[in-house]
Structure 1
Amino acid sequence: MPTENKFFATGVTLQAARANRVYVAGPMTGIADFNYPAFNAVADQLRALSYEVENPADHGIVEGAQWADYMAYDLTRLGLCGVIALLPEWEKSQGARLEVLIAERLGMTVVNAHDLVTREAV
């Protein structure tokens, strides 16, 4: 076994590989259509700018799933990203606040989604 592989586990995503991946975060609970239109619009704009996007709205509504089930899955997707893009009023969301806390602890770039889209489009 080569020495250079000894410290890497299969499936670990290194920071350089996460740099162009963006996780979209924002409020869903209590918002019409779970705020999916806002999530999808930002995800589409970021994909058009060549970002790889993790969009929690992509999984849709899963029969029998509870808030914790969605969060458990979404947090695994967050960990694959280097940037978290925040939708308006994200701070009112318990889930988005948790995602931002984790993103900050992982050293991810935390940015307003609108700012990221407009900055890249220039």
Structure 2
Amino acid sequence: MKKKVYIAGKIGEDYPSEATLRKFERAEQSLQSKGYDVFNPTRSGLGARAEALAKEKGTDFYREIMLLDLEALAGCDAICMLPDWVESPGAEVEFRFAQAVGLEVIYKNYDKDE
């Protein structure tokens, strides 16, 4: 059975920028080529669900997307940290959650991995 890996990195407020989408897609392809089943949050479709939940509950999008992302991460075996993850409060939360529940942590370094 393939290990399922969640990709974590800086998405930013300008999402869906082409650069962000390319960065996550590049990581997804690299991980798939190594035999992993990959959860790519930029292609998950969870954003629409988060928007609906925020409207329904009277909360905000960021709260709801983080909860949905953590739920998705909980179903994975590992997390892949993109080089810019330290610039993202959300990716830091995902990293800490992954550590707390004992997931494998993979650090992506494009200079050496690609």
TM-score range, shorter chain: 0.7 to 0.9
1:1-122 aligned at under 5 Å gives the runs 20-31=3-14, 33=17, 35-60=20-45, 61-62=47-48, 65=51, 66-114=61-109, 118=113
User: What TM-score, normalized to structure 2?
Assistant: 0.74
SS of 2:11's partner is: coil
Unpaired runs of 5+ in structure 2? Answer: 52-60
Identity level (%) = 27
Shift of 1:31: 4.8
C-alpha distance in 1 between matches for 2:108 and 2:73: 15
Aligned residues of 2:9 and 2:83 also touching (Cα < 8 A): yes
Unpaired runs of 5+ in structure 1? Answer: 1-16
C-alpha distance in 1 between matches for 2:21 and 2:49: 17
Residues 63 and 110 of structure 1: CA distance in aligned 2, closer, same or farther (over 3 Å): closer
How many residues get paired? 101
User: What TM-score, normalized to structure 1?
Assistant: 0.70
Q: Rg: which structure is higher?
A: 1
